[in-house]
């Protein structure tokens, strides 16, 4: 998804989840940063659990994925990509 479409989806999810238990399955970590509890799965098993802040602090799988994902988003476009 492009950034604008992702923002629209996140706004819609925010409205829908008010006052409800919501299960969100996502690859984009920005989609789940707000969650009360994040479950990180690897090899079909839950390997980490906690809030976004807690998972970043323990610096394991979630934190590594977060760094990789957001490093890519902040990289400048190459000359070819900017065309």
**For the chain, percent of residues with pLDDT exceeding 70:** 86
**DSSP line for the chain:** --HHHHHHHHHHHHHHHTTS------SSGGGTTT-S-EEEEETTEEEEEE-HHHHHHHTSHHHHHHHHHHHHHHSPPPTTTT-
pTM for the model stands at 0.72
In the chain, domain spans: 3-74
pLDDT at 28: 84
Residue 75 has pLDDT above 80, yes or no: no
């Amino acid at each position: 998804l492009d950034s604008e479409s992702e923002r629209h989806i996140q706004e819609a999810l925010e409205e829908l989840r008010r006052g409800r238990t919501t299960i969100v399955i996502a690859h984009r970590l920005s989609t789940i940063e707000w969650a009360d509890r994040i479950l990180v799965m690897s090899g079909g098993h839950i390997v980490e659990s906690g809030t976004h802040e807690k998972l970043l602090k323990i610096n394991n799988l979630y934190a590594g994925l977060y760094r990789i994902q957001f490093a890519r988003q902040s990289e400048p476009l190459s000359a070819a990509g900017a065309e």
